[in-house]
Structure 1
Amino acid sequence: MPGQRSASEFLRAGRYGVLATQSRSLPGYPFGSITPYVLSAAGEPVIYISTLAEHTRNINADPRVSLTVFDPADAADPQAGARLTWVADACALVPDAARMIAARYYRFFPAAAAYAGTHDFSFYALRLVRLRYIGGFGKIGWIEPQQIDLANPLADAEAGIVEHMNNDHADALRTYCRHFFGRDAQQAVLVGADADGVDLLADGTALRLPFTARATDSDALRQRLIELLRLAREASSRA
């Protein structure tokens, strides 16, 4: 249940949020817009935005922003669901850092790759100042940057893990989708991996498969994936 997730687990499971910037057109007022994000190796939300967009113009004038993330599954009663507000400074990534995050971003959001050939889009990291997390009863409060660690210990190995799983274990990925999410996907692809879980696209739908124990290196990740596959296959054999 969402209320039992930590702030880091909740942020990792998200794919988009409401980006609030300081309006240039109406000084003193916030301007909100829906914005996709992925987490960098350091655990910072990274957004990919056009120079033509209102929020980009606002950021270039005043980098102070917030990103509010919520769970669409809580739409029937959103105030009872978990949500997180990431208060940050938006920083444009230098070319080397942008190249490093681009491949990950395009895996999570394949349609965004079409923008890569233009000069209108740039990557911005949201550098944390403070975050507010409401995760259920007894889980409400502010969290300081030093109190949360979202760095991905698998960042350097992630691209190879993704390639290996998609090329050699497509059946396992479809099994995960079928057993853990009830989706009989025609195409299931792995797009991300970190210590707390893996991210998939099942016929274009984003899915987050969390681990019950952290995987801080590639060997541990392999063991987690094998165990999840074993559980799924055993359940299927009993059905």
Structure 2
Amino acid sequence: MTDEPKNAVPQFDAQAEAKSLLRTARAAALATLAQPSGHPFASLVNVATAPDGSPILLLSRLAAHTRHLDTDPRLSLLLYSAFNMPSGGDPLTHPRLTILGRAKRVSDPTERQLLRARFLARHPKSSLYADFADFGFFRVAMETAHLNGGFGRAANLDADRILTPLDGAEELVADEAELLASIESAEPRLAHRLATAFGSSEGAWQMIGFDPEGLDIGDGERLIRIAFPTPVATSSELRRTIADLL
């Protein structure tokens, strides 16, 4: 058996890095196509994710980027996570993920309620305007992504490599709100204990969402993504996996 060098560089796992950025980014640079010129138009938006990892956007009809998407749904999103980034230094040394896809306005009431709950769990202040008549939720259908993990670390990824399969877990994700409430009721300090275990004890941590591949806990502007060792598909598997994390 060969010993690893003392100063060995950690292995670069592009898929895991991309999934982590997708789930932890709270904001993104949104690029749409301005009409009629076709010029790229960049703006800043808040972002969350659906259970399968598809980005969720809350946009106003009054915004230029929304009018662009209503004409041409193609877009690009640049995601990065500022949490735990050291202050100063070169920002280009930090990972970022560029997504190419198409935005679809959500009109189905059931789907809208699910996306609304997940978005507001991550951005509670958006509840002040989320239900205004001119605002709507959009789901981004990812096609491809490009991960830049810092100097010398890059990868192109098809959407299916960073999305989370939901086959067999449909009931689990549909019951997300009830399960989170039940788990927190049984163990009120669970999120704090998990944050402590993952290196961030200070703050008012709470569970803000889960999917078959991981649990998200948050404290205001901060987010921690806790990836599960193996995917879960039922409520009992979810509870057992969370208990094992502790």
- Do Structure 1 and Structure 2 share a fold, with TM-score over 0.5? yes
* Cα distance, 1:151–1:136 mapped onto 2, change above 3 Å: farther
Q: 1:104 aligns with which of 118, 130, 136?
A: 118
Which range moved further: 131-140 or 29-38?
131-140
Would the aligned equivalents of 1:69 and 1:84 in 2 still touch at CA under 8 Å? yes
Q: 1:175 aligns with which of 158, 178, 193?
A: 193
Matching residue's letter, 1:201: G
Unmatched 5+ stretches in structure 1: 230-239
CA distance in 2, matches of 1:144, 1:177: 31
Match of residue 84 from structure 1: 97
* Cα distance, 1:178–1:6 mapped onto 2, change above 3 Å: closer
Which of structure 1's runs of 4+ aligned residues deviate more than 4 A?
1-4, 136-139
Q: Please tell me whether residue 6 in structure 1 is matched to residue 11 in structure 2.
A: no
Alignment of 1:1-239 (within 5 A): 4=13, 5-24=16-35, 27-72=37-82, 73=85, 76-96=89-109, 97-136=111-150, 139-152=153-166, 153=169, 154-185=172-203, 187-202=204-219, 204-211=220-227, 213-217=229-233, 218-229=235-246
* Cα distance, 1:136–1:65 mapped onto 2, change above 3 Å: same
Count of matched residue pairs: 226
Identity of aligned residues (%): 26
Secondary structure in structure 2 of the residue aligned to 1:48: strand
Q: CA deviation at 1:95?
A: 3.2
Bigger proportion of residues as helix: 1
Would the aligned equivalents of 2:58 and 2:135 in 1 still touch at CA under 8 Å? yes
Q: CA deviation at 1:212?
A: 5.2
CA distance in 2, matches of 1:172, 1:14: 23
Matching residue's letter, 1:198: L
Matching residue's letter, 2:53: G
Using structure 1 for the length normalisation, give the TM-score: 0.83
CA distance in 2, matches of 1:16, 1:210: 19
Secondary structure in structure 2 of the residue aligned to 1:155: helix
CA offset digits 1:72-113 (Å, max 9, x no partner): 226632222211111011111113221221112111111111
Q: RMSD in angstroms over aligned alpha carbons? A: 2.5
Matching residue's letter, 1:149: L
CA offset digits 1:100-157 (Å, max 9, x no partner): 2111211111111121331011011111122111235775232223444324544123
Q: CA deviation at 1:205?
A: 3.1
CA distance in 2, matches of 1:178, 1:148: 27
Secondary structure in structure 1 of the residue aligned to 2:189: helix
